[in-house]
Amino acid sequence: MKNFFLATCFAAGVSIAPVAMAGPGDGSYSKAMMTRATTLTRALAQHIPFNEAQYLAVKQLHLDMLTERRDLEILLNGASAAERDSRLAMAQMRYENGLADLLRPQQLLAYQALRTNFTAHRLK
């Protein structure tokens, strides 16, 4: 199950397609983005028990992360691979820091263990 969550995160980050949304900064999200953020949050909540406030904050963090990745994909279209990698790494770091700020120490340890045990690809 932990592989499902991380595979979902990876797939969401890699396959985000630009979707029609209302104006930037108005707080509205497309149905696809809301569904993706809910899926990511639920998958994480299966491994790390959240209280309701944390659940909502983590969902918002996922929405922010998905929005930022979509915007970077558009902004960096045609940019060098090094620049894309650098900007995406910074976005990932902001996500990780935001999540670390939301989690209690025991939850953070569980998240780090989940990430450590994740294998994106199985070699055959």
Quote the pLDDT of residue 18: 44
Domain boundaries, the chain: 2-15+29-116
pTM tops 0.85, yes or no: no
Q: pLDDT category, 119, cuts 50, 70, 90?
A: low
Angle at 108 between CA 12 and CA 98, to 5 degrees: 55
Q: pLDDT category, 117, cuts 50, 70, 90?
A: confident
Q: What is the 3-state secondary structure (H, E, C) of 40-80?
A: HHHHHHCCCCCCHHHHHHHHHHHHHHHHHHHHHHHHCCCCC
Q: pLDDT category, 45, cuts 50, 70, 90?
A: very high
Residue 4 Cα distances to 23, 31, 85, 89, 104, angstroms: 33, 22, 24, 22, 23
- What residue type is 68 in one-letter code? E
Nearest to 30 by CA among 77, 3, 63: 63
* Rg, the chain, Cα only: 15
Q: pLDDT category, 24, cuts 50, 70, 90?
A: very low
Quote the pLDDT of residue 79: 86
Average pLDDT over residues 1-13: 50
- Taking the alpha carbons of 33, 29, 25, 44 in that order, is the dihedral positive or negative? negative
Q: For 122, which DSSP code?
A: -
Query: Which is more confidently placed, 3 or 95?
Result: 95
- In whole angstroms, what is the distance from residue 13 CA to residue 11 CA? 5
pLDDT, one tens digit per residue, over 57-102 is 999 999 999 999 999 988 888 889 899 899 999 999 999 999 999 9
